[in-house]
A and B are shown apart, each in its own frame.
Chain A
Amino acid sequence: MKKRLQSQSVSKLVDALLPIFATLAALAIGALMLIILGANPFEAYGALIEGAFGSGNALADTIVKATPLLLVGLGICISFRGNVINIGGEGQMIVGALAATALGLAFPEWPGLLLVPLAMLAGFLGGAIWGGIPGALKAYFNVNEILSTIMMNAIAVQLMNFMLKGPMMDPVQASKASRIPQTARLAKAFDLPRLIPTRLHLGTVIAVVLAILVYILLWRTTTGYRIRAVGQNPHASRYAGIDVKRQIVLALFLSGAFAGLAGAIQVFGVNHRMITDGSATGFTGSAGFNGIVAALFGQLHPLGTIPAAFLFGALLVGANKLQRAVQVPSALITVLNGLVVVFVVSSEIWRRHREQKRLTDAMMEQGEGKPPPGIKETAEAEAEP
C-alpha cells in the first residue's frame, strides 16, 4: 500500500516534469539544427542565456516580453479547460489594443488615474467581444472555433491597418510620405508606472495578480467548475443542468478578454502608441500564438503559466543575442516553440496511460473490498495537474 502511494508520487513528479523533458528534446533538436547550420550550439545557447538573463536590463526585458505571453496564456487556460480551442489571441490582442488606444487618444486631458483603468477595461472588453463572436458562433451555429478565430485574426489585422492608416493615424505620419501605420504617442500621464529604472512596468504585476484570480476562478468558483465540467464532458454537464452553450461563449469571451488586456498593456506599458508593419506580428510580436505555447507548457494551469511565460519570454529576448553571436536567424525560436508544442502534446500519452493504470489498480483493490484511494486522487489529478 505504502509502496503504491510512493510510486504514485513518483509518477506525479514525472508528470510535472514532462514539459521540461519536452523542452529539452526541442532544444536538442535545435542544437542539431545549429550544427547543421554551422554554428556551435553551446556558443549559441550561451548567447541566448546571456541575452535573456545577462544583466538587470536583460532580465527586465525578459519579464516585459513574458507579460503578454502570461496574459494570453491565462485566457488559453480558461478556454482550453473548457475544451474550446482559441487560436484568435492575435486578433483579440489587436482589437483590445485598438479600443484602449482609441480611448487614450480621444481624451488626452483626462487624469491618468481615471483613464488608464478605463483603457484597460476597454482593452478587456474589446478582446472579449472579438473572442465572444466565435464563441457564440460555436455555441449557436456549430461553427468550428479554431477556424473562426483564425479568420477573426485576419479581419482584425485589416481593421488595425485601416484604423492606423486612417482615423487613428499619427498626424505627423499623415503629413509625411512614409506613412508608417501608427498612432500618435499617448499622453505621458497614461504611461503605466515603471517599477524600477528599467523597462519593467506595472502590467507585469497586473498579470501575476490575474494569474492568481484565474486560478481561483477555475477551481474555487461555480463558474469555473461549470466551464471545466463542460470541457471534460459536455453530455454529462447537460444532464447535470449546466447551460453548455453559455459556458462555451463565456470561455471564449474570457479568453479573448485576457488577450485584449495583453494588447492594451502592450500599448500603455511598452510602446505608448499603437504601431505595426502591416502584419499581426508587427504589433503583437506573435504573443497571441506564443501565449498558447506558454499555457500548454504550464499544463493549462494559471500558476504554471507564470514560469512558462517567463521561460518563453527569455527565449524571445535571448534570440536576438543568439542571432548576433552565431549568425543564425532568430526564427529558430519559432521552430523551437513549435517543437515544444508538439512534444508537450505528444507526451500526454504517458500521463494518460498511467492514469488509466491507476484507475484499474484502484478498481481491482475495490474488488478486493478495500477502499479505493486511487479514484479520488485521479479525479483530483485530472482537475489540478
Chain B
Amino acid sequence: MIEQLLTKAVLVGILTSGIRLATPYLYAAIGETFSQRSGVLNLGVEGQMLLGAFAAFYVSLTTGNLWLGMLAAIVTGLVMGLAMAFVSITLQAKQGISGIGFYLFGLGLSDLLFQKLMGTVETVSGFRPIYIPGLSDIPIIGEIFFNQNILVYGAYFLIFVAWFILNKTTLGLKIKAVGESPQAADSLGVSVSKVRYFTVTLGGVMSAIAGASLSIALLNVFQQNMTSGLGFIAVALVYFGGWRPWKVMIGALLFSMVNSLQLWVQVLNIPIPSDFAVMMPYVLTIFVLTVTVQRVRPPSALTKPFERGH
C-alpha cells in the first residue's frame, strides 16, 4: 500500500493539491495573525469565511464575473470585520465568546441566503490555472508550483507582504506595540483602537477572501457549512506559527499536505478507514500545538481590551 503512494504521479499529485489546498488557510491565518498581533482574538473567522464564500459564489454565478464575486466577498468581509471590531474594541466584549456568536451568525446567514436565493447546489467555472511561460514548463516543479490559479499565487505572495509589513514598516511596529503593550503605545501617541480596528477589519476581509478562494477558485461550489471547521483550524495555525507569517505558512502547508495525502489515500482505495484518514489533520493539529505552543509567547495583550488609565 505504501508503494502505491510512492509513484511519481501520485507524489506530484499530493504536492500539487497540497500547495493549492493551503490557500484558504493562508488568507484566513494571515488575517488572523494581524489581528492577534494587535491583541485581538477573532474567533469569528469561520463565519466570515462562510459569508465571503457565499457572497463570492452568488455574485459570480449571477453576473458571470469572478472579480465582481471577489469584490462582493471583500465588502462582506469588511462589514463583518468592522462589526467584530466594534464589539471587541469599542464594546470590549469577551473575544472568545463574541467570536462564537459571529460564527453562528455567519453559519446561519450563509445557509439562509443559500436556501432562499439558490436552493440547490450549483457550480461556477472558477479561476483557472495560469500558465507562466518557462516556469510552468519545468518538469515536476512547474507542475507543482506554477500550474495554479491567481488566488493561490496571491496567498503565497501575501505571506511575503505580511512579513514585510510586520517587520519592515512603522505600521507593523505600531501593530506589534499595541499587541504587546497598549499602555506604552498609547503614551507614545499611537491610537490603540485605530490600529486594532484596522487589523480586525483586515482580518475580516482576509477571512472572506479565504472563503471566496474555496467557492470560486478551489471547489467552485457553495454548500451549507462548506468550510466545516477550516476557519477554526486557521486560528490554530496562528498559534502554531507563533504569530510569524513564515511559520504560519509552514503550518498551513503541513496541514494541507496531510489533507491532500488523506484525499489520495481515499482515491487510491488504500485500506485505511476513510474516517480515520479524515481525522488525521485534526489529530496532527492537537499534537503540533502540544509540542510547539509552550515555546512561543503570545502577544501580551491578546484578548485584553484596552482602556485609557487602567
A interface, CB within 8 angstroms of B:
33, 37, 85, 87, 137, 141-144, 146-148, 150-155, 158-159, 161-162, 165-166, 279, 289, 292-293, 296, 328-329, 331-342, 345-346, 348-349, 352
Q: Are B104 and A158 in contact (CB under 8 A)?
A: no
Q: What are 27 residue pairs bridging A and B, where the CB atoms are less than 8 Å apart in the complex?
A: A141-B293, A147-B235, A150-B232, A151-B233, A151-B285, A153-B229, A159-B275, A159-B279, A162-B275, A162-B276, A328-B116, A329-B111, A334-B105, A334-B108, A334-B112, A337-B108, A338-B47, A338-B105, A338-B106, A338-B107, A340-B101, A341-B104, A342-B93, A342-B102, A346-B87, A348-B92, A349-B93
- CB pair B112–A137 under 8 Å, yes or no, is no
Enumerate chain B residues within 8 angstroms of A332, measured Cβ to Cβ: 108, 112
Given that A85-B96, A137-B290, A146-B96 are contacting pairs, would A155 and B87 also be in contact in the complex, using a CB cutoff of 8 Å?
no
Cβ contacts under 8 Å, A292 to chain B? 97, 100
A333 CA to B97 CA, complexed, in Å: 18
B279 touches A147 (CB 8 A): no
What are the residues of chain A within 8 A of B87 when measuring CB–CB? Answer: 342, 345-346
The 6 closest A-B pairs by CB, nearest first: A334-B108, A341-B101, A338-B105, A338-B104, A335-B108, A342-B101
Q: How far is the CA of A44 from the CA of B278 in the complex (A)?
A: 40
259-310 of chain B: CB within 8 A of chain A: 273, 275-276, 278-279, 282-283, 285-286, 289-290, 293-294
- Whether, in the assembled complex, B103 has its beta carbon less than 8 Å from a beta carbon of chain A, the answer is yes
Q: Shortest beta-carbon distance, A263 to chain B, in Å? A: 18
CB distance from A231 to the nearest CB of B (A): 12
- CA gap between A282 and B80 in the complex, in Å: 28
- Expressed in whole angstroms, the Cα–Cα distance for A159 and B115 within the complex equals 30
Complex CA gap A336/B108 in Å reads 8
Least CB distance, A332 to chain B, in whole angstroms: 6
Q: Are B275 and A334 in contact (CB under 8 A)?
A: no
Query: Within residues 121 to 173 of chain B, which ones have a CB less than 8 A from any CB in chain A?
Result: none
Q: How far is the CB of B108 from chain A (nearest CB, A)?
A: 3
Q: Which residue of chain A is the closest to B239 with respect to CB atoms?
A: A144
**Closest approach, in angstroms, between the C-beta of B114 and any C-beta of chain A?**
8
Query: Chain A binding site: helix, strand, loop or mixed by DSSP?
Result: helix
Whole-angstrom distance from the CB of B79 to the nearest CB of chain A? 14
State whether B98 touches A342 (Cβ < 8 A).
yes
Contact status A348-B94, CB under 8 Å: yes
A158 to B266, CA, bound (A): 14
Q: Is B2 an interface residue (CB 8 A)?
A: no
Give min CB distance, B178 to chain A, whole Å: 20
- Given A334-B104, A346-B98, the answer on whether A329 and B112 have CB atoms closer than 8 Å is yes
A85 touches B97 (CB 8 A): yes
User: Known contacts A151-B236, A332-B108; can you find 4 more A-B pairs with CB under 8 A?
Assistant: A146-B43, A338-B107, A342-B105, A345-B94
Please indicate the chain A residues that have their CB under 8 angstroms from the CB of B96 in the complex: 85, 146
Cα distance, A328 to B112, chains bound together (Å)? 8
Q: Is B109 positioned at the interface, with any CB of A under 8 Å from its CB?
A: yes
Min CB–CB distance B242 → chain A (angstroms): 13
In whole angstroms, how far apart are the Cα atoms of A33 and B105 in the complex? 13
- Bound together, the chains give a CA A87 to CA B102 distance in angstroms of 14
CB of B91 within 8 A of chain A?
yes
A147 to B46, CA, bound (A): 13
B265 → A minimal CB distance (Å): 14
Q: Do the beta carbons of A331 and B282 come within 8 Å of each other?
A: no
Contact with A along B31-48 (1 / 0, CB 8 A): 000000000000100010
CB of B275 within 8 A of CB of A150, answer no
CA distance A315 to B283 in the complex (A): 35
Q: Is the CB of A142 within 8 A of B43?
A: no
Q: Is there contact, CB below 8 Å, between B115 and A150?
A: no
* Contacts of B56-112 to chain A: CB distance below 8 A: 87, 91-94, 96-98, 100-109, 111-112
Q: Do B105 and A154 touch across chains, with their CB atoms under 8 A apart?
A: no
Which residues from chain A contact B102 at a C-beta distance below 8 Å? 338, 342
B116 contact set on A, CB distance < 8 A: 37, 328-329
Is A143 a contact of B93 with CB atoms below 8 Å? no
**Alpha-carbon gap, A296 to B233, bound state (A):** 24
Most chain A Cβ neighbours within 10 Å, of B43, B97, B233, B290: B97
Task: Give the Cβ gap from B240 to chain A, nearest Cβ, in Å.
Answer: 9
Would you call B109 and A349 a contact (CB within 8 A)?
no
Q: A59 CA to B213 CA in the complex, in Å?
A: 44
**Of all chain A residues, which has the CB nearest B290?**
A141
CB distance from A148 to the nearest CB of B (A): 6
Q: Which residue of A lies closest to B104 (CB)?
A: A338
In the complex where A144-B289, A158-B276 touch, is A345 in contact with B111 (Cβ < 8 A)? Answer: no
Chain B residues closer than 8 Å to A346, beta-carbon distance = 87, 91, 93, 98
Other-chain contact of B105, A153, A279, A339 (Cβ < 8 Å): A339
B254 → chain A closest CB, angstroms: 15
**Complex contact A161–B275 (CB within 8 A):** yes
Contacts of B225 in A (CB 8 A): 279
Residue of A146, A153, A338, A339 ringed by the most chain B CB atoms within 10 A = A338
> CA separation between A159 and B104, bound complex, in Å?
24
CA distance A156 to B131 in the complex (A): 42
Check B112–A338 contact: CB distance below 8 A. Answer: no
B224 partner residues in chain A, CB cutoff 8 A: 331
Cα separation A336 to B93 with both chains bound (whole Å): 18
Nearest residue, chain A, Cβ from B285: A151
Residues of A within 8 Å of B233, CB to CB, are 151
Choice from A142, A293, A331, A349 contacting B112 with Cβ under 8 Å: A331
Point out the residues of chain A lying under 8 angstroms from B106, CB to CB: 338
A269 to B275, CA, bound (A): 28
A337 with B276: CB separation less than 8 A: no
Complex: how many Å from CA A335 to CA B290?
34
Please determine whether A335 and B109 come into contact, CB atoms closer than 8 angstroms. Answer: yes
Closest partner residue, chain B, to A332 (CB atom): B112
Chain B nearest CB from A136 CB (Å) reads 10
